[in-house]
Amino acid sequence: MGNVAALHERIAEVVPDRECIVAGPSRSTWGEVTERTRRLASVLGKHGLGIHGGALDGEPWESPHDHVALYLYNAPEYLEGMLGAWKARCASVNINYRYVATELLYVLRDSRAQAVIVGGSFTETLAEILPELPELRLVLQVDDGSGAELMRGAVDYEQALADAEPTPPRDLSPDDRYILYTGGTTGMPKGVLWRQEDFLAGCIGVTAPADELVAAAPRRARLRSLACAPFMHGAAHWNALSTWMAGGTVVLPDDPTRFDPADIVATIEREEAASLQIVGDAFARPLLAEVDRRTAAGNPADLSSLRFLLSGGAILSATAKAALVDAVPGLRIVDVLGSSETGRQAVGDGAGTFTPEASAAVVSEDRTRILAQDDHEMGWLAQQGHVPLGYLGDPDKTRATFPVIDGVRYAVAGDRVRWDDRGNLVFFGRDSVTINTGGEKVFAEEVEQAITSHPAVEDALVVGRPNPKWGQEVVAVVALRAAADQPPDDELSAHCRHTIAGYKVPKAFVWADKIERSPSGKPDYAWARGLVTG
């Protein structure tokens, strides 16, 4: 059955004693996670939460489920919250823990959340807006080590589970919804609605029959995946759920509040992680620096257990890719191109070229035609087949993002691409960060790759700055590698001209101590624009 919770239940039957979640000293087996998530489902059901808001075959922007918001750092309770919600026939909602009160209020209202599972670290922000959430029926508070007192009206998470019955789930359906809220890079955050069966196939690549998955699980004892990025973003929990669908173990770093390269390397060694999930160069470069530091200190890191590295959500450059393989011989790198609205669409080579999935397509600028592979016109990356239903509560954006072309429904998230001569996709970047200079479109990520290939550059963001003649001019904010000498601007310009056209080369370079990024590694372009225009 194409339902995550149902598949997890079946796999747990054949590997009940295998570790399912490892978080520092906390270790839970598959059997224990199954029992705890059944108890959580009972808690939600006791408060009247489940499926009763409409039909599973209703409008594509409608959800028949009650929604459970997850407002936590990476922790076992986050993944338990997803599974437990689904077992109760609810749908979980990811919350960005960096939101201030007004942003949090927007997402909780937009998602019509009836329950919140909140870490103690975030109770103060939640408390600010509780009076404005009359539909909220239940707040479950997780002890995340912050020492926060139980907030007024909340129920202690562990106590609630202890008092509940571990009742097996019933009537789980492949049509049950999976909801993923976007980060808001193209407007206000929106909840992307997927059928669970389409989510399994389109986002985490699970298409095999349930019996095959269950039969293969006992052979996957060494599959231990370490997620660096926060579960509040799709790439991280997709990786975790993919690991589970293979019968593996999800491993978390010791410190879930920040990205600490030393913590990641030490966790790989201690837990013998076979797979690592990162977010492009923003994570790869600090990890490589930590490996170099350990080597220089006479204590080289033992990463011999690592077999796979998965990257998504940001560019993983060819230079970083080569350095990773050099540091971990035999490492297989999977650089995934995808989005909340499309799932996985292509696998990259580290140089901006991606091998498309069979379900990927390129649609024309006006979104009315499908471009053939011998048509090198720039268009939009699109997905067909296993695609979302729509945006929660928004029929207009649903129709715009999921157009029907020649009778086929596509998902078009906003990434600009074209076909090359070999039938691969050349990726230019998200249209929302395109710079229009003198009528020419410049894609920020393409220029960033050119800059960060310079050996002295650690990281870079490229933005547009107002220019009276050209409308906008290209400007780069650049961070230097540790112990490197800052190259002259003309040297960096000349370096860029080897790989990009002259009009794309930044007109100015602004040097910063560090490039600001989100906990998931995604670039903070608003910060960069403020720096270059302020």
State how far the Cα of 408 lies from the Cα of 415, in Å rounded to an integer. Answer: 19
State how far the Cα of 227 lies from the Cα of 380, in Å rounded to an integer. Answer: 30
Tokens of 183: 């980060």
Give helix 4-14 / helix 196-204 axis angle, nearest 10°: 70
- Single-letter amino acid code for the residue at 144: D
State how far the Cα of 105 lies from the Cα of 111, in Å rounded to an integer. Answer: 10
State how far the Cα of 193 lies from the Cα of 2, in Å rounded to an integer. Answer: 15
Digitized pLDDT (tens) for each residue of the chain, 534 residues in all: 699 999 999 999 999 999 999 998 999 999 999 999 999 999 999 999 999 866 788 899 999 999 999 999 999 999 999 999 999 999 999 998 988 898 899 999 999 999 999 999 999 999 999 999 999 999 999 999 999 999 999 999 999 999 999 999 999 999 999 999 987 544 578 999 999 999 999 999 899 999 999 999 999 999 999 988 899 989 899 999 999 999 999 999 999 998 999 999 999 999 999 999 998 888 898 999 999 999 999 999 999 999 999 987 777 888 888 999 999 999 999 888 778 888 877 776 555 567 778 888 999 988 889 999 999 998 988 989 999 999 999 999 998 899 889 999 899 887 888 899 888 888 776 766 778 786 677 878 888 988 999 999 999 999 999 887 777 899 999 999 988 999 999 999 999 998 887 889 999 999 999 999 877 677 888 899 899 987
CA angle 367, 368, 373 (to 5 degrees): 85
Which domains can be identified in the chain, with CATH numbers?
Answer: 4-19+28-219 (3.40.50.980), 259-336 (3.40.50.980), 354-428 (2.30.38.10), 438-533 (3.30.300.30)
Nearest-CA neighbor of 23 among 93, 119, 97, 100? 119
